Chains A and B, each alone.
Chain A
Amino acid sequence: MSKISIIISREYWSRVKKPQFLLITLGAPILLALLFFVLGWILSYSSNESKTLLISDPGQLLNETFQPTSAMTGVFSDKEKTDLFQLREQENYDGILILPEPDSAGIEDLKVQYYAPERLNIDVDAQISSYLNTRIREWKIQSFGIDTKLLDQLDTDISIASSTNLTFDEEEELEEGSSIAPYVASAIGLIIAFLIYFMVFINGMMIMRSVMEEKVSRIVEIMISTVRPFQLMMGKLIGVGAVGVTQIVSWMVLIPILILAISLVFGLSLSGGANPAAEQMVESGAMDTEIVENVIRELLSYNWWLIGISFLLYYVGGYLLYSSLFGAMGAMMGDDLGESNSLSIIVTIPVVLALYIGIVAAQSPNSPLAVWSSMFPLFSPIVMPCRLAYDPPLWQIGISILLLFVATYGIVLFSAKIYRVGILMYGKKAGFKEIIKWMRR
């Protein structure tokens, strides 16, 4: 076994065998799922405390029904305002809602009075307003004598069926599903870009910390008489990279299983019909299946071979490029851990910048910013994947990958040089002046 493979094996297994690895690999998807669940619950949370309001509606705008939410109901009364206050007191209603009696259906504003011991909050305000809006619209339609069928016909669903095939073909009929194509393409790009971003970032930091630890603990002094600094650095890069791949693969297996499990468990409770919102979701299921079908049809239309291979190449290139820089940074540091965090920003900035450009590129993949950034090696591993699903010209992908690997080769050699001198200077921090000096040698 060559030295480098022994180092890779140690770097890999020492991380994978840690209980933390198992915890993160198994725990992260569970945590993520839990987070989504909790977030969804928090965002959909509205005060479920039941409220009964006393309502005065002399104009019969609501037609004797008031049900903004399942928890909010109303009792109608045609008493005078002073009596309403008394009645609320006696019957213990939560509030009084007084609607005016409009002169005609042509009104544009409607001033409603609300009396309650509690201050009006956003939740209650939104529920009442939106409910009244709908009901008064219905009342107006009725009052004006408008045909509701006619009204429905005013709304038109627009779908753009698109194709990049510009030769005229009489037979060709564009698929309808392609109207969601840009969204699917942009989602694919963003998912890949985020994945590469996180891998580069988390693993890069991990490498920097591990290089610093080796330097601070002086193990590196023992290592350098046995292995070349370059072997040590590459062994670490490849070993940690393999840990990342292991993690991605296990998530790719675990997350769908978890999603399936969760949807099975909660799907059952949904059909139980505990709340109206869930019922609504089930009702609208018909439409959802149509969208899902379109998305699947859309997904099948991509050249996954190209996307998969490019993803792999961009991951490898981007990872090696940035991790070697992070490694060199780690070798430059002294024993001061705080300092490393401030210095690592230098490497962090291009990664973060690339992600933002990537997000823009996922929306307008052929803008000059997107095209040029996807050629620039520091950005391309994150920006180009965002464009991949939009079928960029092959020559652009080719040049971008070529440039990336040429740059990666150069930067790995450059980093190895800094790394080599950095780890030999134990206890000292290397200033930028010294680094420039080393580069000249």
Chain B
Amino acid sequence: MSNLVLELREVTKQYEGHLAVDHLSFQVKKGVLFGLLGPNGAGKTSSIRMITGITLPDSGSIYLDGQPVDGRLSHNIGYLPEERGLYKKMSVGEHLLYLIRLRGWNKKEGKAKVMEWLERFNIEDWWAKKIDELSKGMQQKVQFIATVMHDPSLMILDEPFSGLDPVNSKLIREEIVRLSEEGCGIILSTHRMEQVEELCDEIVIVNHGKKIIEGPIDNIKMRHWNGEYLIDIGEHPGQFLPAGVEVIQQNKKGLWEIRIPSDSSTSSLLEHLLKNNTDIRHFEKSLPSLNDIFIQITGEDNPQIS
């Protein structure tokens, strides 16, 4: 069996003359935490709605577990939308049981499964609690359970950490990692780049409905490396560097930011420093942060990244 959970091939969607998704292709593998990134209005939600089968693509195709989606709602997807809510008057247990039954589980097995998840989150005494008695953060937990409880092969989490306190944030993050390790395909859509860097293995960045960049995060960072290093040799590095190397500034931690010309290499820089008999305390290839890359490639059109 193939390792792919999800595959998009040349998916296009148009709304009233505006191209929301433009020939978008990417793949999500089992056990891979996949980041779907892009500025507001880039076409993320439109793509997600097609993946979940809520809407149909105008052209192109989407395969889930090797089967074409074709606008069918699949029980193999767990979708946590960005804008989300629950029936306020229902109790936690009833609500989760209702949702799991709508996803094809029978009453008895569904109940056991819901209980299992409540226990995992140490909230088994919440069964009879009304949703509107819960705080926003507590509701987020219930929503997360609602997304993952039916053992989907693909989970789509849109801003899963918004509104969560650090403790619950950590709990959810650990769950996401655990589910990913168990082989679940996970798409994480967020604006919070530090979370993407921390969690995701691979990303795709879309803007104006088009794919701009794709691949494992480390690869992308390497591709966007512009020759910068962080070094510390105990004094101003200026006189010990080969010709053409630019000293940019000293950062807050006391490390010097330098940039080598594009025809130079790490080994020639190191060689030169060693030859000068410098006391190398710190030497680091300074890869750009995902945030920098994101702003660099989408920023000119959409400077507002929240």
Spell out A's residues near B (CB within 8 Å).
Answer: 1, 3, 6-7, 10, 14, 214, 217-219, 221-222, 224-228, 424, 426-427, 437
Contacts and interface: CB of A to CB of B under 8 A. Distances in A.
A6 B77 contact: no
Nearest to B72: A228
B280 interface: no
B248 interface: no
Interface in B77-99: 77, 79-81, 83-90, 98-99
Q: A-B pairs with the 10 shortest C-beta distances? A: A218-B85, A217-B85, A221-B81, A225-B79, A225-B52, A219-B85, A218-B83, A226-B102, A221-B83, A218-B84
A216 B143 CA distance: 16
Contacts of B54: 224-225, 424
B85 A437 contact: no
B52 to A, nearest CB: 4
B81 A14 contact: no
A225 B99 contact: no
Interface of B: 16, 49, 52-54, 73, 77, 79-81, 83-90, 98-99, 101-103, 143, 146
Nearest to B90: A14
B81 A218 contact: yes
B105 to A, nearest CB: 10
Given A227-B73, A424-B54, A222 B102 contact: no
Given A221-B85, A427-B83, 17 more contacts: A1-B101, A3-B102, A6-B101, A6-B102, A217-B85, A221-B81, A222-B80, A222-B84, A222-B99, A222-B146, A224-B54, A225-B52, A225-B54, A225-B79, A225-B81, A226-B102, A226-B103
B99 A226 contact: yes
15 contacts: A1-B101, A3-B102, A6-B101, A6-B102, A14-B87, A217-B87, A219-B86, A222-B79, A222-B80, A222-B143, A225-B53, A225-B73, A226-B99, A226-B102, A426-B83
Contacts of A10: 98
Contact of A219 (B52, B77, B87): B87
A219 B90 CA distance: 12
A437 B17 CA distance: 12
Contacts, number: 56
A228 B102 contact: no
B72 to A, nearest CB: 10
A348 B237 CA distance: 81
Contacts of A227: 73, 102
A228 B16 CA distance: 23
Contacts of B99: 222, 226
A11 to B, nearest CB: 11
Contacts of B88: 217
A424 B99 CA distance: 19
Contacts of B143: 222
Give the one of B49, B77, B83 with max A CB within 10 A: B83
A217 B86 contact: yes
Contacts of A424: 49, 54
Given A7-B102, A10-B98, A424-B54, A222 B90 contact: no
A271 to B, nearest CB: 50
Nearest to B132: A217
Contact of B84 (A6, A14, A221): A221
A218 B88 CA distance: 11
A221 B83 CA distance: 7
Nearest to A229: B54
Contact of A222 (B53, B86, B89, B101): B86
A52 B99 CA distance: 77
A305 to B, nearest CB: 39
A7 B99 CA distance: 10
Nearest to B143: A222
A221 B16 CA distance: 22
Give the one of B53, B79, B80, B81 with max A CB within 10 A: B81
Contacts of B77: 225
Contacts of A221: 81, 83-85
Contacts of A224: 54
Contacts of B52: 225
Contact of A6 (B83, B86, B98, B146): B98
Nearest to B54: A224
Contacts of A218: 81, 83-85
Contacts of B80: 222
A224 B54 CA distance: 7
A191 B274 CA distance: 102
A98 B214 CA distance: 109
A173 to B, nearest CB: 63
Contacts of B103: 226
Contacts of A219: 84-87
B85 to A, nearest CB: 4
A184 B95 CA distance: 50
A225 B50 CA distance: 10
